[in-house]
Amino acid sequence: MKRVNTQQIGSVLDDFFEQNPTLADKLAETRLMDSWNKVLGTSVSRFTDNLYIRKRVLYVKLTSSVLKSELMLCREQMIGKLNNHAGRNVIDNIIFL
């Protein structure tokens, strides 16, 4: 049997996520949280307890106050790198707890 109207899986998924933008946003948020260890490295992730996103703000619970003050200085660069890894603008701010 010959197949008619075949499409690549990438284009089918792109169409699906265009029709469901909230699902695409949630997928990008998950990508961003997974990329925390890749972007900042294992030394920072060792002192990270909890990550969550609420209303375009990434909340990060850290166990080291020294690391918290260091990360506050480079917050804008981290937002750019994390959004690049996610593939879209997911967060606007990072709050360290």
Rounded Cα–Cα distance for residues 90 and 69 (Å): 23
Rounded Cα–Cα distance for residues 47 and 81 (Å): 19
Compute the radius of gyration of the chain from its Cα atoms.
17
Rounded Cα–Cα distance for residues 89 and 60 (Å): 18
Which residues make beta-bridge pairs with 58? 53, 94
Domains of the chain, earliest start first: 9-96 (3.30.300)
Residue 53 phi, psi (nearest 5) = -115, 130
Q: How confident is the model at residue 17 (pLDDT cuts 50, 70, 90)?
A: confident
Among 46, 51, 78, which residue's Cα sits nearest to residue 63?
Answer: 46
pLDDT score recorded for residue 7: 84
Q: How confident is the model at residue 1 (pLDDT cuts 50, 70, 90)?
A: low
